[in-house]
A and B are shown apart, each in its own frame.
Chain A
Amino acid sequence: MKIFNRGYIHSVETLGTLDGPGLRTVVFFQGCPLRCKFCHNVDCVAPRGGSEYTVDELCKRVLKNKEYWGVSGKDGGVTVSGGDPTYQPEFLLAFIRRLHNQNVHIVIDTSLMTSTKVIESILPYVDLWMVSVKHMEVKKHEYLTGFSNKHILANIRHLDTLLDRKPKLRIRYLVIPGITDTLSALQPFSVFVSKLKSIESVELLPYGTYGVHKWIEMYGTYPLSKVNAATQNHVNAVAKELANVPFQLRTGNT
């Protein structure tokens, strides 16, 4: 048996409603190349841990929920998240290829801190790419994630080209008060996304502190402890700044 036939899965959430359209089963992959200070799944970062699954086992597990994905099966499906699912590229590919061939709608939640080869390999099996842009300024990005954003932004542009104007790319942006909602952050972000051609929507997410307890459990400390959670007002203010972006802007306003 080849090694990629086993994946490390942190957990499976069966009532996923926030990570893609409809009701989704969200599979949290173990392992992430970034070291985000605001990470809300810090327990998924390590490359090993969680439970080991074969592709068969994991498919069987998520397909138990297919009756909840709407009559067409397209009002929901499976979201691969993490961690970053591209951190286990062979297992990811085998898993979503199998599901996609059974008409399961696949969403990937990723930072695109991966190789173009990986992107190209999974491209046929992804129905919606949810790619989070952490920060447009190189220094700030390094401060927040430990890495420069150059490679990520290049990957997004590359993916955008590969998608060939099919609206399959959702750019997610985390509103962190005082950090990502400044004009110097938002203006380049606006310029960047406006140039993309395959956008489904731009989704603004409020930064929350619900992952803090995991940091405290694992490290006894939380790096962004001085930053407050974003409110809907923070999100709305960012939405106002991005009003000129020529795409649907998801703000979570009800």
Chain B
Amino acid sequence: MHKHKLVNADFVRGSWTDTIDVHNFITRNTVSYSGDEQFLSSATQRTKKLWEKVLLLMREEQKKGILDLDVETPSTILSHLPGYIDKKNEIIVGLQTDKPLKRAIKPKGGIQLVQKAAEAYGYHIPQHIIDTYTNECTTHNDAVFSAYTPLQKLLRSKHIITGLPDNYGRGRIIGDYRRVPLYGTKKLIEERLRYLENDSTTLDDDTIQLRREVFLQIQAFRGLTTMANSYGYDISVPAMDSKEAVQWLYFAYLAAVKEQDGAAMSLGRIDAFLDCYFERDLRGGLYSEQEIQEILDDFVIKLRLVRHLRHPEYDALFAGDPTWVTLALGGSTIKNKSLVTKTSFRLLHTLTTLGPAPEPNLTVLWSKGLPSAWKKYCAKQSINTSSIQYENDDLMREYFDDDYAIACCVSGMSIGKDMQYFGARANLAKVFLLAINGGKEEPHGNNDGGDTIVPGMKSIKSGMYLHYEDVWKQFTQLLDWLAKNYVDTMNIIHYMHDRYNYESAQMALHDVQVRRFMAFGLAGLSVVADSLSAIKYARVKPVWNRRGVAEHFIRTGTYPTFGNDDDRVDSIAIAVIHEFMRALRRYSTYRRSIPTLSILTITSNVVYGSMTGETPDGRSSGAPFAPGANPLHGRDTCGAISALNSVAKLPYKDCLDGISNTMSFVPHSLGRTVPERLNNLVQLFDGYFVGKHGHHLNVNVMQKETLREAQKHPEQYPQLTIRVSGYAVLFNRLSSEQQEEVIARTFHENL
């Protein structure tokens, strides 16, 4: 108790002192930094040696697929003994298992998939574990499939709704990991117990479910406390200094990634929070700048070591073994005070001290008034490493207040107050073809198509050419049909996930009562918009095959394409989104969650494209979609700014789960000299975010030739990182098909 008082006494007091309120702590204690990066320290010898060790392990991992797998021990917060890379040289400790990069199984998501994944890498799950998770414990996967209707299974197997988290953890939940260092687990447990001791509520279904969850959350806190103890730390009390603050925070995150292997296990936003400790301890002479950097470097090494067991099909959708340890940086408060601190710089600086890497998924929150030195530093690190994504802080603050973070790629949420039910995405291009084909599947690959997916729809065959009004009408009807089935499917998935694979460690670090989003998604937007544009502005004649579905489209005339800042087609894209979102809002969602929509594909634009037949815009059967909300490759012909402007028109209010845009530049295209390139990139961000209200931008600055070289000599480019839709990936970990898609993508080069 004495310690607790001491820590509180050092900081400016506020409502955070009495209630759980990290936001208030940050508001009271953060000192904005408007200087440049000159204060930063380079990596110490210790850091370099430790990172070298990790790199060697990673190299071996890449050769073998996975380095090691513990098949015996289903992972929980307490399942594994303490693990170290090199105990005496580590500053921040803790691994998911007892050895670095050794993966664990998390069969609560689904035992068959664990088996499949293990076998893909030559491991076998012991029979007794299979029996337990087949006969005694219900897994999330089994539970979902026990409730799916035949139609839901059909939509899934026909790749209309795809990538659903019904056979893997849903993820996308961000615990407020900062609560552990600020309060210690004892106080956090007490707060939960107080809720359970309250008799006055009506015990309806919702309340019973919540009480059960809160109980599980308390258990998670106890497990977390015990786990930290096994590493020799008492986290029941608040962190005393900078190092403890990072360590406590990491333990909280570690508990989450031991319990869950959700698709995106994001870290949240920690720069301003930790900076309060760092600046206090620097002032007090407790730590030097070099030591602070060393603590963060060590922490980031740990984040780069997070691994989950994935099966190969998963990898086809989300390539390169991503974990989405998304970390939001910078931004500002609702009163426009900058939240850029020295620690924002220190965290971006890890791309220099440790070299480029996909994880943590560094996400800069761009805001109009941020210091120009910070903006330039971001641009510099982007140009040097291609490892950063940018998101519009001014836009998101309106919906999530100023203490929000990003889950996965583009999903904003107030930290500790919002959670989401992740729903992957629907293949909108396929649904569009259903509209043309009267509810019948389109031909693609070796499949002649013709299977009825939506019974009772009339064919659109009338005359030679497709009529825009007919197609649009039929398509919007289908959007409604899709929305109903998509909502139903999500309701089942998340009902079961809450019951059979609950994220107790992460939800423990939320308020008891949270706001829930249900995050739908769509893929193939530019294909649909261009197809509709072709039908409207050119003439499109379908060629019907023997099964009565269109196998080919003949176009005469020209038509505007998405990505050229041309309202004639950009307005079509907007209308598609609006119609789909409107349809989604019509249906009731599990736990009254708020429906949202993302335009994001990860690397799945390749797989989705391969499952989709020819489209009226001229995209051939099986060809990839553009990633996220991007224009289709080669269709944006007026330069990068026009392409940005088209994407920026897509309305965020209808896509609250994010609008992903990925741009690749050759260095020369940003200017002749380095200072010019920095200024121009900053101006490009200011134009896109502040001027045009775009939501998200992935930036790659590299030569195509570098990628070709890396294909030929992967061993020479172990850390070559590239941003794809919403995350970054080591180029060498993409399949050759995905590598080709990345290279073929429009690289903006002006001459």
Interface residues of A (CB under 8 A from B): 11-18, 22-23, 25-26, 40, 64-71, 75-76, 208, 210-211, 250, 252-254
Contacts and interface: CB of A to CB of B under 8 A. Distances in A.
A12 B673 CA distance: 23
A23 B684 CA distance: 8
B306 interface: no
B676 A17 contact: yes
B690 A14 contact: no
A92 B688 CA distance: 29
A22 B645 contact: no
A16 B639 contact: yes
B671 A76 contact: no
B639 A15 contact: yes
A67 B687 contact: yes
B641 interface: yes
Nearest to B645: A64
Contacts of B640: 14-15
B42 interface: no
Given A11-B638, A17-B669, A40-B751, 14 more contacts: A12-B638, A14-B638, A14-B640, A14-B645, A15-B669, A17-B750, A22-B679, A22-B683, A23-B680, A65-B687, A67-B691, A70-B683, A252-B672, A252-B673
A245 B566 CA distance: 46
Contact of A22 (B639, B680, B750): B680
A14 B639 contact: yes
Nearest to B636: A14
A22 B680 CA distance: 6
A244 to B, nearest CB: 22
Nearest to B687: A68
18 contacts: A13-B750, A14-B640, A14-B641, A14-B642, A15-B669, A15-B748, A15-B750, A17-B671, A18-B671, A18-B750, A18-B751, A64-B565, A65-B687, A67-B690, A67-B692, A69-B683, A252-B673, A253-B673
A13 B638 contact: yes
Given A17-B671, A17-B680, A22-B679, A65 B751 contact: no
Nearest to A70: B683
Contacts of B691: 66-68
Interface in B682-710: 683-684, 686-688, 690-692
B684 A68 contact: yes
Given A22-B680, A250-B672, A208 B638 contact: no
A112 B673 CA distance: 27
Contacts of A40: 751
Contacts of B680: 17, 22-23
A204 to B, nearest CB: 10
Nearest to A203: B672
A188 B138 CA distance: 87
Contact of A76 (B642, B673, B677, B683): B683
B674 A254 contact: yes
A40 B751 CA distance: 9
B743 to A, nearest CB: 19
Most chain A CB within a 10 A radius of its CB, from B669, B671, B748? B671
Contacts of B687: 23, 65, 67-69
A64 B648 CA distance: 12
Nearest to A67: B691
A110 B572 CA distance: 39
Contacts of B650: none
A16 B692 CA distance: 18
B670 interface: yes
B641 A25 contact: yes
Contacts of A18: 668, 671-672, 750-751
A246 to B, nearest CB: 21
Contacts of A250: 672
A12 B639 contact: yes
